[in-house]
C-alpha cells in the first residue's frame, strides 16, 4: 500500500490528511502549539497513525502547507522520524499549476495556493474560494483559472476576541446565530453582530467581486468556521472542508509524478 500524508499547518490547528492515491481516507487534527518540540509532534502523529492500524511503511511521501514557519520544520522532522519519508513543502520552486496574478506571488499563503489548485481541479472558473479561519480570505479566480487577488478580513474568532477582550461586561459567547438580528440581551446582541455581521460581509463581498468581474462565480468555502456561517448566506456556497488537503494531494502529484 502506498499512502500520502498531507499536512495543513494553520495558526490554530494542524490538519492531516491520509490519501490512498487520490482518495482521502482519513483526516486528523491536532492543536498547533509553538512550545511543542518535533519529538512531541512525532509522538502525537505516531499515536494517531497506530490507532488507525496503518504502518509507517505504508507511506510513500508527505507534503506540507504552512503559515507558521516555526512549526514547519518540526513537523517535517517528526514526519521523517516517524514515517521515514521526506516532505515536500509548498512554496517557491514547487510546481502547482496555478497562475498567480498578483504583484508578488510569493506572498500568497501556501494554504490559499492549495485551495485554489483544488478548486480549479474540480470546478469550472470563474470562482471565489473563501477560506474561513483565523482570517477570512476571498480568493478570486478568473474565467481563465488565474488567481487574480484575495481581499482579507479578520476572522470570526479574531472579531469576537477583539470585542470581548478586556471588557468585563462582554463575556465570551459561542458562534450560534440568534433567530433575530436585533439582539435583546448582551449574549444575543454579540452573536447577532458577529455572526450575522459576518454573513452579511460574506454575501456583500461576493456581490462586489462578481460586479467587478462582470461574471457570476461558483463559490466554495473552506476552513474551520465555514460550516457555521455559509448556511445562513443568501448566496449558494459549496462547502468543501478538505479543500486544502485535496490541493496538497494534487500538488504532490505534479512534483512527484510516478513515485507513488
CATH number of the structural domain spanning residue 84: 3.30.420.40
- Same domain? 59 vs 156: no
Which residue, 62, 89, 116, sits at the end of a domain?
89
Q: Are 235 and 120 in a shared domain? A: yes
121 plus 76 within the same structural domain: no
* DSSP state at residue 100: B
Domain boundary among 65, 89, 113: 89
Residues 17 and 79 in one domain: yes
81 is catalytic: no
Whether the Cβ atoms of residue 156 and residue 194 lie closer than 8 Å to each other: yes
Picking from 63, 89, 115, the residue at the C-terminal end of a domain is 89
To the nearest 10°, report the CA torsion of 242, 246, 251, 252. Answer: 110
On whether residue 252 sits in a domain, the answer given is no
* Same domain (yes/no): 121, 231: yes
CA distance 110 to 128: 17
Structural domains in the chain (count): 2
User: Residues 53-67, buried b or exposed e (16+ Cβ, 10 A)?
Assistant: ebeeeebbbbbbbbb
Whether residues 176 and 242 share a domain: the answer is yes
Contact 176, 156 (CB under 8 A): no
In this prediction the pTM is: 0.90
pLDDT of residue 96: 96
Residue 3 — φ and ψ, nearest 5°? -115, 155
Task: Based on the fold, state whether residues 109 and 218 are members of the same structural domain.
Answer: yes
CA atoms within 13 A on the CB side of 192: 12
Same domain, 123 and 241: yes
User: Do you find a cis peptide bond into 126, omega within 30 degrees of 0?
Assistant: yes
100 φ/ψ angles, rounded to the nearest 5 degrees: -100, 110
Q: Give the cell for residue 68.
A: 507558521
pLDDT one digit per residue (tens) for the chain, 260 residues: 579 999 999 988 999 999 998 899 999 899 999 999 999 999 999 988 888 888 888 899 999 999 999 999 999 999 999 999 999 999 988 999 999 999 999 999 999 999 999 999 999 999 999 999 889 999 999 999 999 999 999 988 888 777 777 665 556 667 778 788 898 888 888 888 888 999 999 999 999 999 999 999 999 999 988 998 999 999 999 999 999 999 999 999 999 865 55
Does residue 95 lie in a domain region?
no
How many whole angstroms separate alpha carbon 97 and alpha carbon 117?
Answer: 7
Task: Give buried/exposed letters for 80-94 (b at 16+ CB in 10 A, else e).
Answer: eebbebebbbbeeeb
Residues 6+ apart with CB under 8 A from 191: 173, 174, 175, 176, 177, 178, 183
* Cα 145 to the center of its chain, rounded Å: 19
Asked whether residue 188 is assigned to any structural domain, the reply reads: yes
pLDDT for 161: 79
Residue 160, phi then psi, degrees to nearest 5: -70, -40
Q: Are residues 44 and 153 both part of a single domain?
A: no
Residue 48: domain span: 3-89
The answer as to whether 49 is a domain residue is yes
Q: How many residues belong to the chain? A: 260
User: Are residues 120 and 37 located together in one domain of the fold?
Assistant: no
- 256 lies in some domain: no
Q: Is residue 140 part of a domain?
A: yes
**Residues 157 and 228 grouped into a single domain:** yes
First to last CA, the chain: 10
Identified catalytic residue from 111, 142, 187, 203: 111
Whether 257 maps to a domain, the answer reads no
80 and 38 co-located in one domain: yes
Amino acid at each position: 500500500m502506498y499512502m500520502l500524508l498531507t499536512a495543513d499547518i494553520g495558526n490554530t490547528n494542524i490538519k492531516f490528511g491520509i490519501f490512498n492515491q487520490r482518495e482521502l481516507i482519513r483526516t486528523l487534527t491536532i492543536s498547533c502549539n509553538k512550545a511543542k518540540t518535533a519529538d512531541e509532534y512525532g509522538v502525537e502523529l505516531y499515536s494517531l497513525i497506530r490507532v488507525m492500524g496503518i504502518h509507517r511503511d505504508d507511506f510513500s511521501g508527505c507534503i506540507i502547507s504552512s503559515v507558521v514557519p516555526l512549526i514547519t520544520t518540526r513537523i517535517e522532522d517528526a514526519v521523517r522520524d516517524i514515517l521515514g519519508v521526506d516532505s515536500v513543502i509548498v512554496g517557491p520552486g514547487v510546481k502547482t499549476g496555478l497562475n498567480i496574478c498578483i504583484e508578488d506571488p510569493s506572498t500568497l499563503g501556501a494554504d490559499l495556493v492549495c485551495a485554489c489548485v483544488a478548486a480549479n481541479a474540480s470546478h469550472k472558473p470563474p470562482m471565489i474560494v473563501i477560506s474561513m479561519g483565523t482570517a477570512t480570505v476571498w480568493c478570486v479566480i478568473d474565467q481563465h483559472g488565474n488567481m487574480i487577488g484575495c481581499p482579507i478580513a479578520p476572522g470570526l474568532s479574531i472579531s469576537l476576541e477583539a470585542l470581548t477582550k478586556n471588557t468585563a461586561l462582554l463575556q465570551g459567547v459561542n458562534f450560534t446565530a440568534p433567530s433575530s438580528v436585533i439582539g435583546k440581551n448582551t449574549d444575543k446582541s454579540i452573536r447577532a453582530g458577529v455572526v450575522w455581521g459576518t454573513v452579511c460581509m460574506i454575501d456583500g463581498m461576493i456581490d462586489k467581486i462578481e460586479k467587478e468581474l462582470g461574471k457570476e462565480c461558483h463559490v466554495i468555502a473552506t476552513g474551520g468556521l465555514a460550516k457555521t456561517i455559509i448556511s445562513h448566506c443568501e448566496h449558494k456556497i459549496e462547502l468543501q472542508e478538505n479543500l486544502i488537503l485535496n490541493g496538497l494531494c494534487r500538488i504532490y502529484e505534479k512534483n512527484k509524478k510516478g513515485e507513488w
